Amino acid sequence: MITASITGRMAFEPRQIQTKSGKPMTTARLACDDGEGHTIWIDIVTFTNNAEWLSRATKGDRIAAMGTLKMNVWTGKDGEEKQQLQLVADNVIVPAAKPRKPSAQNPPAKPAAKKVASDPFQGGTVDEASLPF
């Protein structure tokens, strides 16, 4: 098993579906820079709360994801062997994620939890321009 942390840009809009057991699942494709000027395409799949976060990303958004990396191998219609990297993400960070408008596919989100007086972050703001990603 290979545990990996990747960053990249969303190549397409994410695809949100439900598994047969009813769990939310989101798939996406990231364009990642290998540091030498080449693009590596990595498919991401994630479930439950992470699926909700990833579904809020849009094409071009920069995201980070951590999880198990594997190589999917299959035979294409042309008879050639195909390979594609896939990250099964345990954690997804979508800095620019904004709530999407409710639709038939994306039901409204649950209401936010009430702030607790002992919450050290209550009332605080974060300047997104100062974030390193």
pLDDT number for residue 110: 52
Has residue 107 got a pLDDT over 90? no
Tell me: the pLDDT tens digits for 51-85?
Answer: 988 998 999 999 999 999 999 898 989 999 999 99
Number of H helices, E strands in the chain: 1, 6
Produce one character per residue of 69-100: b if its CB has 16 or more CB atoms within 10 Å, e if not.
Answer: beeeeeeeeeeeeeeebbbebeebbbeebeee
In the predicted structure, residue 121 carries a pLDDT above the cut 50: no
Rounded CA gap, 92 and 100, in Å? 17
Question: What angle is formed at CA 119 by the lines to CA 113 and CA 121, rounded to 5 degrees?
Answer: 95
Mean predicted confidence (pLDDT) in 89-103: 72
Confidence (pLDDT) at 122: 47
Determine if the pTM surpasses 0.85. Answer: no
Helix (H, G, I), strand (E, B) or coil at 52: helix
The burial class, CB within 10 Å (0-12 / 13-18 / 19+), for 10 is buried
pLDDT digits (tens, 9 = 90+) for 6-20: 999 999 999 999 989
Which domains can be identified in the chain, with CATH numbers?
A: 2-94 (2.40.50.140)
Q: What is the pLDDT of residue 34?
A: 87
**How far are the Cα atoms of 22, 104, 132 from residue 127, in angstroms, in the given order?**
37, 33, 11
| CA dist list (Å): 103 to 19, 56, 60, 108, 118 | 19, 13, 22, 8, 36
Residue bearing the bigger pLDDT, 92 or 132:
92
